[in-house]
Amino acid sequence: MIKIKFPDNSSQEYKEGITPIEIAEKIGKKLAQDAIAAKVDNELVDLNKKINKDSNLKIITFNDKEGKEIFRHSASHLMAQAIKNLYPDVKFAIGPAVDEGFYYDIDLDKKLTPEELEKIEKEMKKIVDEDIKLERQEISKDEALELFKDNPYKKEIINELEDEKISIYRQGNFADFCRGPHVLSTGKLKAFKLTKLAGAYWRGDAKNKQLQRIYGVAFPDEKQLKSYLKLLEEAEKRDHRKLGKELDLFSMHDEGPGFPFFHPKGAFIFRKLQSFWRDEHSKARYKEIITPMILNRKLWEQSGHWDHYKENMYFTKIDEDDYAIKPMNCPGGIIVYKEGIKSYRDLPLRMGEMGIVHRHELSGVLAGLFRVRCFTQDDAHIYMTEEQIKDEIIGVINLAEKFYDLFGFEYNIELSTRPENSMGSDEAWEKATDGLKDALDAKKIKYKINEGDGAFYGPKIDFHLKDCLGRTWQCGTIQLDFAMPEKFDLTYEGSDGKKHRPIMIHRTIYGSIERFMGILIEHYAGKFPLWLSPTQVTILNINDSHIPYGEKVKQELEKNNIRVETDFRGETMPKKVREAQLKKIPIILTVGDKEKENDAVAVRTLDGKLHFGIKTADLIDKIKTAVKQKSDKIIF
C-alpha cells in the first residue's frame, strides 16, 4: 500500500500502481469528470500515470492555471489532427497554449480562409465524438528524427534537445513530441472556437519562412465558451489598437516593429501618467534618478543578466567593447547607490526612475501596447536594513493601492518563489520569501503562491488587476533581492561603525507605462476621466452667428487651464455631437441664442445627459473641482 496526501493535508492509503484518475473516481464522480491532469509531488502528470510510492497529489481541473494551459494545449493537438485529416501534406511547427487560448503554426501551400476554419471546426467535432485517446510514449532522439523526417521544423527542434529520450503524444493519425501532460481523450474537449488567422515567421525571424497561424479558444462546456465569446465581442469594441487609431493616440509601423509612436494626444496621456507618478512618489519620499540606456557588458555580467537574460537583450559595440541596451534599470540604479558612502541614517533610500528599457520579443507575440520591444518602466529601488523590510514592503503596497483605486481596478496578489535558474544562497532566498510573506500577512491580504515563478535574483509579489470586463492584467511587482547587493558589494555604515550589506527592493506600479496605457484605453473604452483626457471640452455652435460667443467661452476655459477644442463647421448639430462622442470628449458644450443672452452653455456629457443654462463660471468651477479630485464625474 502507498500513502497519498492531498492539498487539505488529509491522506489515504491505496494500492501501489493506482492512477490519479482512479483516485479522483474514488473521491467523487464530479471531481473525476472535471479532472484534466494531476500534480504528483509537484510534477504535472497525465491522469493515467501510475503512482508507485508515497506521494502528494493534487487533481488539476480547469479552475487551476495549469489546468487551463493543459486543456488549451490539448485543444491545439485536436486542431492539428483535424488539419492533418483535411490537408495531409501539412507540416506542423509549434502549437502552444497561450493566455487566452491556443494556436498552431503550420506550413501549408494552400492559403487558408475563414471559411476553411469552419471546415476545420467540423472535423474537430467529429474527432471529439470519436473520443480518441491521447497516448504518451517515450522514444529515442533517433526514433523521433525518423518519425518527423519530413518535417524540417520538428527536426530542427529535436536536434537542439539535449535529452536522449523524447516524449510524444499520439491520437489517431496525428503525433507530436511534447512534454505534456494532456487530457486523457479528445472527448474531453467539448467546446471550442477557431478565432482568427495570422502570419508568423518561423521562430519569429523575418529571414525564415512565413507560416500560417491559426488561433482558437477552448472550454470544458458550451456555457463557458459562449460567455467568453460575448466577452471577446465586447473586448474587440474596446481593442486599444483600434481605439488608439480612432482617437489619434498612437500608431505602430513596419519601420519599427514593436516600437510605438505616440501622437500628441497619446503623448499627453503618457506624460500625465508620468506626472501623477512623480507627484505621488515625491510625497512618498522617493528621489528620482536618470541612468544611461547603454552600459558595458561587464556590468551585465556582474548583475547576472548576461547569463540569465541575454536572449532578451540587444547589443552594440562602442570603441570595440561590447555594450548592451538595458533591459532593466536596476544595474544603473546600483551604480548611483555606490556613489559616496552610505550610513544607516540614509536608509531606507528610495530611488525611482522612469527608465526606457528594450527587450527582444518575438514578432509573433507583439500586440499593440501590450507587448512591445521598447517601454518605459516606472522603476524604483529601495535600499534598506533587514529590520526595515516589512515596513518598506507595506509602504509599496499602500502606494500601489492608491494608484489602482484611483483608476478603478480591483486586484489580487500572487507571491512567486524561487525559480530553477536562480542565483543566491538558500538562506537568502528563505529570508527574502519570508520578508514578503510577513508584509502581506501584516496587511491581512489574501495571496496565492506561485511556486518557482520568481525573478532569477529574488522572490516577488505581483499585482493582477481586474478591469471592467473581468480580465486580469499583471502590472505592479515587488521583488525582494539579497543577491544584487552581494554581487555589487553594496554597503552602508551601521550604528556600530562597521560595514553592513543593505537589502534591495525592485518595484514597479504601472509596470510599463505603455502597457498600462493600453489597459486603461480598454478599461475606459477610450472614455478617459476628465483629469486624464487630452481634450476635456469641445464647443459646438448652432449657427455662424454664435461663433464669437463660442470663442469667448473657449478663451475663458483656456484661461483656467481647461483643454478645449471647437467645432464651428457648417455641419448639422446631430452630426457634430455624434463626432464629438466618437472622439470620447467628456464634455460637449452647445452655444446658441439663449446661451449667448444668459452667459451660459448647454452641457452634454458622454453618458448622454443634458444640462441647460449652466453659467460658464459655474462650469469652470465644477471642472476644476473634478480635475483636482481626479473624479470621472461632474455633479451638476
Is 330 among the catalytic positions? Answer: yes
Burial of 20 (0-12, 13-18, 19+ CB in 10 A): buried
- Segment 139-144 long-range contacts (CB within 8 Å, at least 24 positions apart): 139/165, 139/166, 139/168, 140/164, 140/165, 140/166, 141/165, 141/166, 144/168, 144/177
Long-range pairs, 289-292, Cβ under 8 A, ≥24: 289/333, 289/336, 289/351, 289/352, 289/353, 290/353, 290/355, 291/326, 291/329, 291/332, 291/333, 291/335, 291/336, 291/353, 291/355, 292/326, 292/332
Query: Which of the residues 39, 46, 188, 330 is marked catalytic?
Result: 330
Q: Which three cell numbers stand for residue 246?
A: 480612432
Catalytic residue among 176, 379, 462, 481: 379
> Has 12 been annotated as catalytic?
no
**Of 136, 158, 133, whose CA–CA distance to 148 is shortest?**
158
Three-state secondary structure along 107-167?
Answer: ECCCCCCHHHHHHHHHHHHHHHHHCCECEEEEEEHHHHHHHCCCCHHHHHHHHHCCCCEEE
DSSP letters for 22-63: HHHHHH-HHHHHH--EEEETTEEE-TT--B-S-EEEEEE-TT
How many CB atoms are closer than 10 A to CB 503? 26
Selecting among 73, 305, 358, 381, the annotated active-site residue is: 381
Residue 348, preceding peptide bond in cis (omega within 30° of 0): yes
Residue 155 annotated among the catalytic residues of the structure: no
- Kindly report the length of the chain: 636
Q: What is the dihedral of CA 162, 163, 164, 167, to 10 degrees?
A: -140
- Out of 359, 418, 515, 583, the active site residue is 359
Packing angle between helix 547-559 and helix 616-628, nearest 10 degrees?
Answer: 40
Please say if 129 is a catalytic residue.
Answer: no
Cell of 576: 457634430
Q: Check if 359 is active-site.
A: yes
CB within 8 A of 628, min separation 6: which ones? Answer: none
Catalytic residue chosen out of the listed positions 81, 171, 212, 377:
377
**Catalytic residue check, 141:** no
H helices of 479-535, where?
483-487, 513-524
User: Which residue has cell 502528470?
Assistant: 45
The CA–CA distances, whole Å, from 286 to 351, 380, 381, 395 equal 5, 8, 9, 12
Q: Based on the residue annotation, tell me whether 381 is a catalytic residue of this protein.
A: yes
> 239-266 burial, b for 16+ CB within 10 Å, e for fewer?
ebbebbeebebbebeeeeebebebeebb
The catalytic residues are: 330, 359, 377, 379, 381, 460, 506
